[in-house]
Amino acid sequence: MKNQFVILAAGKGTRMGDGPVPKVLVMLKNKPLILYVLHEIEKVNQLAKPVVVVGFQAKKVQGVLGNHYSYAYQDKQLGTAHAVQAARSKARAENIVVLYGDMPFIKAGSLSELIKMHLHSGAKISMLTTQVDNFRGKFSSLEHFGRILRDPNHNIIGIVEFKDATDVQRKIKEVNPGIYMFNAKWLWESLKHIGNKNVQQEYYLTDIVGVAIAQGERVHNFSVPPEQVLGINTREELETAEKLIK
């Protein structure tokens, strides 16, 4: 079992206007958001059963998805790094791909390219990035994604969350969709070094990039079209997605 997906699916969809429902079960064209993601994952040749991290109304999510997946439980919503840590007991592979269950436009081809790049480079951490010309129209949801920080040689040196970014950093047009691939042994050890000294007091998985940089590790990235990583957090963004989904 060389590679394995971990899908983060523990959050609430409180901003979607339908009351407190699991975010990943919000309907898009009469299908839950997470099913779009899982159907793309099924196209990627993997040996290990994917792990779905559930939390809010966990039984409802499991009821929809069935027994095709392993389930890990995140008891409190303490951030994305905390969610990944919750998956440790169920993850079995040498390499772990982490992604969100509410990104219905991600494509199997992009995930396959990420895996291929990661394995070829022997990296400890690899990630998807995307770039936009502006944050207007259908790309408005990307404005609140973390910004990619690079050095003069174009190497990634960090990610800053939008809520913690300066005005200058918020003008950066290269953003982080939050899809990563890790060497599993390195991941579990590195999660111990992530703190919660930020505006939200959460454990951000993005901070693991800083851990890698401090260790002298290169962060590899593969850029994808922004259409593949559109965020859906509000009723307006859901309506935009309805017009784009095929």
Q: What is the DSSP secondary structure assignment for residue 186, as one 8-state letter?
A: H
Which helix (H) or strand (E) segment holds residue 221: the answer is strand 220-223
Closest CA to 6 of 188, 162, 156: 188
**Active-site residue (options: 15, 88, 92, 218):** 15
> Is 235 a catalytic site residue?
no
Contact yes or no for 98/205 (Cβ under 8 A): yes
User: Two tokens at 78?
Assistant: 């303490």
Beta bridge partners of 150: 156
Contact yes or no for 219/125 (Cβ under 8 A): yes
Contact yes or no for 28/241 (Cβ under 8 A): yes
Q: Who contacts 1 (Cβ-Cβ below 8 Å, separation ≥6)?
A: 47, 48, 92, 93, 94
User: Two tokens at 209?
Assistant: 């990039």
Beta bridge partners of 160: 147
Other CB atoms closer than 10 Å to residue 193's CB: what's the count? 13
Closest CA to 122 of 186, 60, 178, 173: 186
Known catalytic residues are 15
